[in-house]
Amino acid sequence: MKKIIHLTVFLAVVGALSAGVLSYVNDLTAPIIEAQKLAAVKESLEVLYPGANFSELSTEADETGLVSAAYKAEGKGYIYSVQVVGYNSSTPIDFMMSIDNDGTISGYVVLTQQETNGIGSRVADDEFKNTVVGKGINDSISTLSGATVSSTAVVKGINAAKALFGAQAGVSVDTPSDPVVTTPVYTLSDDYSGNSATVVSVDGNTYTVTSTGFPGNSANEYAIVVENGAIVSVTNTVFGDTAGIGNPAVSEDALSSYVGATLTSEVDAVSGSTFTSKSVFAALQAALKNAAGESTDADTDTGASTDNTTVEGDSYTATAFGFGGDVTVTVVLNGSDIVDVKVVGDKETSGIGTNAIDKLPAAIVAADSADVDVVSGATITSTAILEAVQEILDQAQ
Protein backbone atom coordinates (compact mmCIF):
# COMPACT_ATOMS: atom_id res chain seq x y z
CA MET A 1 0.00 0.00 0.00
CA LYS A 2 2.76 2.38 0.97
CA LYS A 3 4.55 1.47 -2.24
CA ILE A 4 1.55 2.30 -4.39
CA ILE A 5 1.13 5.69 -2.75
CA HIS A 6 4.81 6.40 -3.20
CA LEU A 7 4.67 5.56 -6.91
CA THR A 8 1.51 7.58 -7.47
CA VAL A 9 2.82 10.63 -5.67
CA PHE A 10 6.17 10.48 -7.47
CA LEU A 11 4.57 10.29 -10.90
CA ALA A 12 2.13 13.06 -9.99
CA VAL A 13 4.96 15.32 -8.86
CA VAL A 14 6.92 14.68 -12.06
CA GLY A 15 3.79 15.39 -14.09
CA ALA A 16 3.03 18.58 -12.20
CA LEU A 17 6.58 19.86 -12.55
CA SER A 18 6.64 19.27 -16.28
CA ALA A 19 3.22 20.88 -16.68
CA GLY A 20 4.52 23.94 -14.86
CA VAL A 21 7.57 24.19 -17.11
CA LEU A 22 5.45 23.77 -20.22
CA SER A 23 2.93 26.39 -19.24
CA TYR A 24 5.78 28.81 -18.60
CA VAL A 25 7.27 28.15 -22.05
CA ASN A 26 3.84 28.40 -23.59
CA ASP A 27 3.24 31.80 -22.00
CA LEU A 28 6.56 32.90 -23.37
CA THR A 29 6.08 31.71 -26.93
CA ALA A 30 2.32 31.89 -27.56
CA PRO A 31 2.24 35.63 -28.36
CA ILE A 32 5.19 35.28 -30.73
CA ILE A 33 3.66 32.34 -32.54
CA GLU A 34 0.38 34.23 -32.77
CA ALA A 35 2.10 37.29 -34.20
CA GLN A 36 3.86 35.15 -36.78
CA LYS A 37 0.63 33.57 -37.93
CA LEU A 38 -0.87 37.02 -38.33
CA ALA A 39 2.18 38.31 -40.17
CA ALA A 40 1.74 35.55 -42.73
CA VAL A 41 -1.78 36.64 -43.57
CA LYS A 42 -1.28 40.33 -42.87
CA GLU A 43 -0.48 41.11 -46.47
CA SER A 44 -3.88 39.95 -47.62
CA LEU A 45 -5.58 41.61 -44.65
CA GLU A 46 -3.90 44.90 -45.52
CA VAL A 47 -5.63 44.85 -48.90
CA LEU A 48 -8.98 45.16 -47.14
CA TYR A 49 -8.05 47.49 -44.29
CA PRO A 50 -4.73 49.20 -45.00
CA GLY A 51 -2.73 50.06 -41.94
CA ALA A 52 -5.10 48.61 -39.35
CA ASN A 53 -4.14 46.63 -36.25
CA PHE A 54 -5.32 43.07 -36.65
CA SER A 55 -6.11 40.41 -34.13
CA GLU A 56 -7.40 36.94 -34.77
CA LEU A 57 -10.84 35.87 -33.58
CA SER A 58 -12.35 32.48 -33.06
CA THR A 59 -14.60 31.09 -35.76
CA GLU A 60 -16.35 28.71 -33.38
CA ALA A 61 -19.64 30.55 -33.64
CA ASP A 62 -19.77 29.73 -37.34
CA GLU A 63 -22.18 26.84 -37.67
CA THR A 64 -21.65 26.28 -41.37
CA GLY A 65 -17.93 25.56 -41.14
CA LEU A 66 -17.31 27.70 -44.20
CA VAL A 67 -15.48 30.50 -42.40
CA SER A 68 -11.91 29.39 -41.84
CA ALA A 69 -10.53 32.47 -40.14
CA ALA A 70 -11.80 35.71 -38.68
CA TYR A 71 -9.82 38.84 -37.93
CA LYS A 72 -10.71 42.05 -36.25
CA ALA A 73 -9.28 45.25 -37.66
CA GLU A 74 -9.18 47.55 -34.64
CA GLY A 75 -11.74 50.33 -34.97
CA LYS A 76 -12.51 49.52 -38.60
CA GLY A 77 -14.29 46.23 -39.00
CA TYR A 78 -13.95 42.49 -39.38
CA ILE A 79 -12.35 40.31 -42.00
CA TYR A 80 -13.49 36.79 -42.77
CA SER A 81 -11.66 34.20 -44.77
CA VAL A 82 -14.14 31.82 -46.34
CA GLN A 83 -13.82 28.64 -48.38
CA VAL A 84 -16.74 27.29 -50.34
CA VAL A 85 -17.00 24.53 -52.89
CA GLY A 86 -18.60 25.69 -56.10
CA TYR A 87 -18.67 23.84 -59.36
CA ASN A 88 -15.13 22.52 -59.15
CA SER A 89 -15.32 20.12 -56.25
CA SER A 90 -11.56 19.59 -56.04
CA THR A 91 -10.55 23.22 -55.49
CA PRO A 92 -12.68 25.37 -53.22
CA ILE A 93 -13.27 29.03 -53.91
CA ASP A 94 -11.18 30.86 -51.32
CA PHE A 95 -12.18 34.44 -50.66
CA MET A 96 -11.87 37.15 -48.05
CA MET A 97 -14.44 39.74 -47.24
CA SER A 98 -14.52 42.64 -44.88
CA ILE A 99 -17.52 43.97 -43.01
CA ASP A 100 -17.23 47.44 -41.50
CA ASN A 101 -18.25 48.01 -37.91
CA ASP A 102 -21.46 49.64 -39.16
CA GLY A 103 -22.41 46.44 -41.00
CA THR A 104 -21.52 47.40 -44.55
CA ILE A 105 -19.66 44.88 -46.65
CA SER A 106 -16.66 46.92 -47.65
CA GLY A 107 -14.47 44.46 -49.45
CA TYR A 108 -14.55 41.20 -51.34
CA VAL A 109 -11.41 39.56 -52.71
CA VAL A 110 -11.21 36.12 -54.27
CA LEU A 111 -7.83 34.64 -53.41
CA THR A 112 -7.99 31.37 -55.32
CA GLN A 113 -10.63 29.75 -57.49
CA GLN A 114 -10.52 27.25 -60.30
CA GLU A 115 -14.08 27.48 -61.48
CA THR A 116 -14.82 27.10 -65.17
CA ASN A 117 -13.09 29.93 -66.94
CA GLY A 118 -15.50 32.60 -68.12
CA ILE A 119 -18.45 31.05 -66.30
CA GLY A 120 -18.00 30.17 -62.64
CA SER A 121 -14.89 32.32 -62.62
CA ARG A 122 -17.18 35.32 -62.88
CA VAL A 123 -17.55 35.21 -59.09
CA ALA A 124 -14.05 36.71 -59.04
CA ASP A 125 -14.93 39.48 -61.48
CA ASP A 126 -15.85 43.06 -60.70
CA GLU A 127 -19.37 42.42 -62.01
CA PHE A 128 -20.08 40.17 -59.02
CA LYS A 129 -17.85 42.05 -56.59
CA ASN A 130 -19.84 45.22 -57.26
CA THR A 131 -23.07 43.50 -56.31
CA VAL A 132 -21.52 42.45 -52.99
CA VAL A 133 -19.51 45.47 -51.89
CA GLY A 134 -21.61 48.20 -50.37
CA LYS A 135 -24.41 45.88 -49.29
CA GLY A 136 -25.55 45.98 -45.69
CA ILE A 137 -25.52 42.80 -43.66
CA ASN A 138 -29.28 42.47 -43.98
CA ASP A 139 -29.36 42.98 -47.72
CA SER A 140 -29.65 39.86 -49.77
CA ILE A 141 -27.08 39.18 -52.42
CA SER A 142 -28.10 37.86 -55.79
CA THR A 143 -26.44 35.01 -57.52
CA LEU A 144 -25.12 35.25 -61.04
CA SER A 145 -27.35 33.91 -63.72
CA GLY A 146 -25.40 31.48 -65.87
CA ALA A 147 -23.00 30.82 -63.00
CA THR A 148 -25.59 29.67 -60.52
CA VAL A 149 -23.60 26.89 -58.88
CA SER A 150 -20.46 28.92 -58.23
CA SER A 151 -22.20 32.09 -57.16
CA THR A 152 -24.71 30.29 -54.94
CA ALA A 153 -21.79 28.74 -53.09
CA VAL A 154 -20.12 32.12 -52.68
CA VAL A 155 -23.33 33.76 -51.49
CA LYS A 156 -23.74 30.99 -48.92
CA GLY A 157 -20.20 31.71 -47.72
CA ILE A 158 -20.93 35.41 -47.52
CA ASN A 159 -24.07 34.69 -45.51
CA ALA A 160 -22.04 32.53 -43.12
CA ALA A 161 -19.58 35.39 -42.65
CA LYS A 162 -22.44 37.81 -42.08
CA ALA A 163 -23.90 35.57 -39.39
CA LEU A 164 -20.52 35.29 -37.70
CA PHE A 165 -20.12 39.05 -37.89
CA GLY A 166 -23.47 39.41 -36.16
CA ALA A 167 -22.26 37.21 -33.33
CA GLN A 168 -18.90 38.91 -32.99
CA ALA A 169 -19.90 42.51 -33.40
CA GLY A 170 -23.03 42.02 -31.31
CA VAL A 171 -25.31 43.06 -34.14
CA SER A 172 -28.44 41.17 -34.93
CA VAL A 173 -28.38 39.79 -38.42
CA ASP A 174 -31.43 38.40 -40.15
CA THR A 175 -30.96 34.79 -41.01
CA PRO A 176 -30.76 34.99 -44.75
CA SER A 177 -32.91 32.57 -46.62
CA ASP A 178 -31.32 30.66 -49.42
CA PRO A 179 -29.56 32.84 -51.92
CA VAL A 180 -31.90 34.87 -54.04
CA VAL A 181 -31.80 33.64 -57.57
CA THR A 182 -32.53 36.41 -60.00
CA THR A 183 -34.19 35.04 -63.05
CA PRO A 184 -33.44 37.32 -65.91
CA VAL A 185 -36.23 37.74 -68.42
CA TYR A 186 -35.58 36.08 -71.72
CA THR A 187 -37.76 36.63 -74.74
CA LEU A 188 -37.67 34.56 -77.87
CA SER A 189 -36.70 37.66 -79.84
CA ASP A 190 -33.42 37.99 -77.92
CA ASP A 191 -30.13 37.34 -79.59
CA TYR A 192 -29.03 33.72 -79.26
CA SER A 193 -26.36 33.76 -81.95
CA GLY A 194 -23.92 32.20 -79.47
CA ASN A 195 -25.98 29.02 -79.49
CA SER A 196 -25.65 28.59 -83.28
CA ALA A 197 -29.16 27.25 -83.73
CA THR A 198 -29.63 25.58 -87.10
CA VAL A 199 -32.78 24.11 -88.59
CA VAL A 200 -31.65 20.71 -89.82
CA SER A 201 -34.85 19.52 -91.43
CA VAL A 202 -38.46 20.51 -91.83
CA ASP A 203 -41.24 17.98 -92.03
CA GLY A 204 -44.61 19.61 -92.39
CA ASN A 205 -44.73 21.90 -89.40
CA THR A 206 -42.22 19.86 -87.39
CA TYR A 207 -38.80 21.47 -87.29
CA THR A 208 -35.67 19.62 -86.25
CA VAL A 209 -33.26 22.15 -84.80
CA THR A 210 -29.78 21.74 -83.33
CA SER A 211 -28.28 24.29 -80.98
CA THR A 212 -25.42 24.20 -78.50
CA GLY A 213 -25.91 24.95 -74.83
CA PHE A 214 -22.84 25.12 -72.61
CA PRO A 215 -19.89 26.39 -74.67
CA GLY A 216 -17.78 23.48 -75.84
CA ASN A 217 -20.46 20.83 -75.38
CA SER A 218 -21.92 19.09 -78.37
CA ALA A 219 -25.21 20.34 -79.75
CA ASN A 220 -28.64 19.49 -78.42
CA GLU A 221 -31.29 18.55 -80.92
CA TYR A 222 -34.96 19.43 -80.60
CA ALA A 223 -38.07 18.47 -82.50
CA ILE A 224 -40.35 21.49 -82.49
CA VAL A 225 -43.89 21.69 -83.84
CA VAL A 226 -45.01 25.18 -84.85
CA GLU A 227 -48.49 26.19 -85.83
CA ASN A 228 -49.69 29.72 -86.64
CA GLY A 229 -46.48 31.27 -85.34
CA ALA A 230 -46.75 29.57 -81.97
CA ILE A 231 -45.05 26.56 -80.42
CA VAL A 232 -47.25 23.48 -80.21
CA SER A 233 -44.75 21.05 -78.75
CA VAL A 234 -41.04 20.76 -78.01
CA THR A 235 -39.14 17.54 -77.45
CA ASN A 236 -35.47 17.06 -76.82
CA THR A 237 -34.19 14.37 -79.19
CA VAL A 238 -30.44 14.56 -78.62
CA PHE A 239 -28.88 15.83 -75.39
CA GLY A 240 -25.30 17.00 -75.76
CA ASP A 241 -24.94 19.15 -72.63
CA THR A 242 -23.45 18.37 -69.26
CA ALA A 243 -25.26 15.42 -67.74
CA GLY A 244 -26.69 16.20 -64.32
CA ILE A 245 -26.61 19.94 -64.88
CA GLY A 246 -28.28 20.70 -68.18
CA ASN A 247 -30.94 18.04 -67.80
CA PRO A 248 -33.53 20.06 -65.85
CA ALA A 249 -33.72 22.54 -68.74
CA VAL A 250 -34.90 19.85 -71.14
CA SER A 251 -37.19 18.02 -68.73
CA GLU A 252 -40.76 17.55 -69.93
CA ASP A 253 -41.97 20.06 -67.36
CA ALA A 254 -39.61 22.73 -68.51
CA LEU A 255 -40.20 22.15 -72.20
CA SER A 256 -43.99 22.03 -71.85
CA SER A 257 -43.87 25.51 -70.31
CA TYR A 258 -42.82 26.87 -73.70
CA VAL A 259 -45.95 25.59 -75.48
CA GLY A 260 -47.89 28.48 -76.94
CA ALA A 261 -44.85 30.75 -77.06
CA THR A 262 -44.44 33.09 -80.00
CA LEU A 263 -41.46 35.13 -81.17
CA THR A 264 -42.33 37.90 -78.73
CA SER A 265 -43.06 35.68 -75.71
CA GLU A 266 -41.15 35.94 -72.51
CA VAL A 267 -39.71 32.61 -71.42
CA ASP A 268 -38.22 31.39 -68.15
CA ALA A 269 -34.81 29.77 -67.98
CA VAL A 270 -34.37 26.87 -65.58
CA SER A 271 -32.18 28.10 -62.77
CA GLY A 272 -28.92 26.18 -62.62
CA SER A 273 -29.24 25.12 -66.24
CA THR A 274 -29.24 28.52 -67.86
CA PHE A 275 -26.97 27.52 -70.71
CA THR A 276 -29.09 24.59 -71.77
CA SER A 277 -32.23 26.69 -71.41
CA LYS A 278 -30.75 29.21 -73.79
CA SER A 279 -30.12 26.46 -76.31
CA VAL A 280 -33.82 25.65 -76.09
CA PHE A 281 -34.71 29.32 -76.66
CA ALA A 282 -32.34 29.49 -79.62
CA ALA A 283 -33.93 26.42 -81.13
CA LEU A 284 -37.46 27.76 -80.56
CA GLN A 285 -36.48 31.05 -82.12
CA ALA A 286 -34.96 29.34 -85.14
CA ALA A 287 -38.04 27.17 -85.62
CA LEU A 288 -40.43 30.12 -85.27
CA LYS A 289 -38.39 32.24 -87.65
CA ASN A 290 -38.21 29.40 -90.12
CA ALA A 291 -41.96 28.97 -89.87
CA ALA A 292 -42.39 32.67 -90.51
CA GLY A 293 -40.22 32.30 -93.61
CA GLU A 294 -37.26 34.19 -92.26
CA SER A 295 -33.60 33.51 -92.22
CA THR A 296 -32.94 30.66 -89.85
CA ASP A 297 -29.23 30.82 -89.50
CA ALA A 298 -28.69 32.72 -86.28
CA ASP A 299 -25.13 33.47 -87.35
CA THR A 300 -26.22 35.77 -90.11
CA ASP A 301 -28.04 37.94 -87.60
CA THR A 302 -25.34 40.55 -87.42
CA GLY A 303 -26.68 43.32 -85.24
CA ALA A 304 -26.28 42.38 -81.62
CA SER A 305 -29.85 43.24 -80.86
CA THR A 306 -31.16 44.47 -84.12
CA ASP A 307 -33.65 42.42 -86.00
CA ASN A 308 -36.75 42.62 -88.17
CA THR A 309 -35.63 45.06 -90.78
CA THR A 310 -38.73 45.66 -92.81
CA VAL A 311 -38.22 47.16 -96.22
CA GLU A 312 -41.17 49.15 -97.56
CA GLY A 313 -40.36 50.88 -100.81
CA ASP A 314 -38.23 53.84 -99.90
CA SER A 315 -39.21 53.64 -96.30
CA TYR A 316 -37.29 51.24 -94.08
CA THR A 317 -38.02 50.16 -90.54
CA ALA A 318 -35.73 48.52 -88.00
CA THR A 319 -35.89 47.92 -84.30
CA ALA A 320 -33.12 47.83 -81.76
CA PHE A 321 -33.14 47.29 -78.03
CA GLY A 322 -32.74 50.54 -76.15
CA PHE A 323 -32.77 51.13 -72.42
CA GLY A 324 -36.30 50.10 -71.54
CA GLY A 325 -37.41 48.14 -74.54
CA ASP A 326 -37.53 48.13 -78.32
CA VAL A 327 -36.85 51.32 -80.20
CA THR A 328 -38.36 51.32 -83.69
CA VAL A 329 -36.74 53.51 -86.29
CA THR A 330 -38.30 54.30 -89.65
CA VAL A 331 -36.03 55.88 -92.25
CA VAL A 332 -37.20 57.26 -95.58
CA LEU A 333 -34.47 57.09 -98.17
CA ASN A 334 -34.24 58.84 -101.49
CA GLY A 335 -31.44 56.98 -103.20
CA SER A 336 -28.76 57.18 -100.54
CA ASP A 337 -30.04 60.42 -99.03
CA ILE A 338 -31.74 60.15 -95.68
CA VAL A 339 -34.88 62.19 -96.13
CA ASP A 340 -36.70 61.48 -92.91
CA VAL A 341 -36.15 59.60 -89.67
CA LYS A 342 -38.90 58.69 -87.23
CA VAL A 343 -38.20 57.04 -83.91
CA VAL A 344 -40.76 55.34 -81.69
CA GLY A 345 -39.60 54.18 -78.30
CA ASP A 346 -42.31 54.51 -75.70
CA LYS A 347 -40.36 52.47 -73.15
CA GLU A 348 -37.39 54.80 -72.95
CA THR A 349 -36.97 56.87 -69.81
CA SER A 350 -38.85 60.12 -70.08
CA GLY A 351 -36.50 63.12 -70.01
CA ILE A 352 -33.42 60.96 -70.65
CA GLY A 353 -33.84 58.40 -73.39
CA THR A 354 -36.57 60.52 -74.95
CA ASN A 355 -33.99 63.27 -75.38
CA ALA A 356 -32.23 61.10 -77.91
CA ILE A 357 -35.50 60.27 -79.63
CA ASP A 358 -36.22 63.99 -79.98
CA LYS A 359 -32.81 65.18 -81.06
CA LEU A 360 -31.16 62.43 -83.04
CA PRO A 361 -33.48 62.19 -86.09
CA ALA A 362 -32.73 65.75 -87.18
CA ALA A 363 -29.02 65.20 -86.68
CA ILE A 364 -29.11 62.01 -88.72
CA VAL A 365 -30.96 63.70 -91.57
CA ALA A 366 -28.48 66.58 -91.48
CA ALA A 367 -25.46 64.28 -91.47
CA ASP A 368 -27.00 61.90 -94.00
CA SER A 369 -25.50 59.00 -92.07
CA ALA A 370 -25.59 57.17 -88.76
CA ASP A 371 -22.23 58.66 -87.95
CA VAL A 372 -23.43 61.36 -85.56
CA ASP A 373 -22.62 62.06 -81.92
CA VAL A 374 -24.73 60.27 -79.34
CA VAL A 375 -26.84 62.45 -77.07
CA SER A 376 -24.88 62.78 -73.86
CA GLY A 377 -26.74 61.29 -70.93
CA ALA A 378 -28.81 59.15 -73.24
CA THR A 379 -26.05 56.98 -74.63
CA ILE A 380 -27.91 53.68 -74.56
CA THR A 381 -30.99 54.90 -76.39
CA SER A 382 -28.82 56.87 -78.82
CA THR A 383 -26.70 53.85 -79.59
CA ALA A 384 -29.80 51.76 -80.22
CA ILE A 385 -31.21 54.34 -82.65
CA LEU A 386 -27.90 54.69 -84.50
CA GLU A 387 -27.53 50.92 -84.68
CA ALA A 388 -30.96 50.58 -86.22
CA VAL A 389 -30.25 53.35 -88.72
CA GLN A 390 -26.94 51.75 -89.67
CA GLU A 391 -28.71 48.44 -90.12
CA ILE A 392 -31.17 50.08 -92.52
CA LEU A 393 -28.41 51.81 -94.46
CA ASP A 394 -26.56 48.53 -94.80
CA GLN A 395 -29.70 46.80 -96.04
CA ALA A 396 -30.56 49.54 -98.49
CA GLN A 397 -27.26 49.37 -100.29
Partner 1 sequence: MNRKENFIAGFVKENPVFGLYLGLCSALAISTTLDNAIGMGLCVTLILTASNMIISAIRKITPDEIRIPVYIVVIASLVSAVEMLMAAFMPQLYANLGVFISLIVVNCIILGRAEAFASKNGILDSALDGIGMGLGYTFSLLLISFVREFLATASWTITNPFNNQVILHVGLSFLEPFKISMFSTSTGAFLTFACFAALFAVLKNKPAKKEKKEAK
Q: Assign 3-class secondary structure to 128-149.
A: HHHHHCCCECCCCCECCCCCHH
Q: Which stretch binds partner 1 (CB under 8 A): 3-11, 181-189, 214-222, 321-329?
A: 3-11
**β-pairing, 54-57 with 220-227?**
unpaired
Report the nearest approach of partner 1 to the CB of residue 19 (Å).
Answer: 8
Distances, alpha carbon 185 to alpha carbons 145, 189, 256, 361, in Å = 11, 11, 18, 30
Report the nearest approach of partner 1 to the CB of residue 29 (Å).
Answer: 4
Report the nearest approach of partner 1 to the CB of residue 5 (Å).
Answer: 11
Q: Which is nearer to partner 1, 32 or 185 (CB)?
A: 32
Q: Which is nearer to partner 1, 21 or 339 (CB)?
A: 21
Distances, alpha carbon 284 to alpha carbons 109, 155, 185, 200, 263, in Å = 40, 33, 16, 13, 8
Q: Say how many C-beta atoms besides its own lie within 10 A of residue 33's C-beta.
A: 10
Q: What does the alpha-carbon distance between residue 104 and residue 133 come to, in Å, rounded to a whole number?
A: 8
Q: What does the alpha-carbon distance between residue 263 and residue 234 come to, in Å, rounded to a whole number?
A: 15
Is 222 within 8 Å of 211 (Cβ atoms)? yes
Q: Which is nearer to partner 1, 28 or 185 (CB)?
A: 28
Report the nearest approach of partner 1 to the CB of residue 38 (Å).
Answer: 12
Burial class (CB in 10 A: 0-12, 13-18, 19+), 10: exposed
Is 144 within 8 Å of 124 (Cβ atoms)? no
CA-based R_g, the chain, Å: 31
Q: Which is nearer to partner 1, 2 or 203 (CB)?
A: 2
Looking only at residues 325 through 354 of this chain, which bind partner 1 when binding is defined by CB under 8 A?
none
Report the nearest approach of partner 1 to the CB of residue 60 (Å).
Answer: 22
Count of all residues that appear for the chain in the document? 397
Q: Does 367 bind partner 1 (CB under 8 A)?
A: no
Report the nearest approach of partner 1 to the CB of residue 222 (Å).
Answer: 54
Q: Does 42 bind partner 1 (CB under 8 A)?
A: no
Report the nearest approach of partner 1 to the CB of residue 14 (Å).
Answer: 5
Is 218 within 8 Å of 240 (Cβ atoms)? yes
Q: Does 36 bind partner 1 (CB under 8 A)?
A: yes
Q: Which is nearer to partner 1, 26 or 130 (CB)?
A: 26
Looking only at residues 6 through 35 of this chain, which bind partner 1 when binding is defined by CB under 8 A?
6-7, 10-11, 14-15, 18-19, 21-22, 25-26, 28-30, 32-33
Q: Which is nearer to partner 1, 30 or 292 (CB)?
A: 30
Report the nearest approach of partner 1 to the CB of residue 30 (Å).
Answer: 8
Contacts with partner 1 by CB under 8 A: the residue count is 18
Q: Say how many C-beta atoms besides its own lie within 10 A of residue 191's C-beta.
A: 16
Residues that bind partner 1 (CB under 8 A): 6-7, 10-11, 14-15, 18-19, 21-22, 25-26, 28-30, 32-33, 36
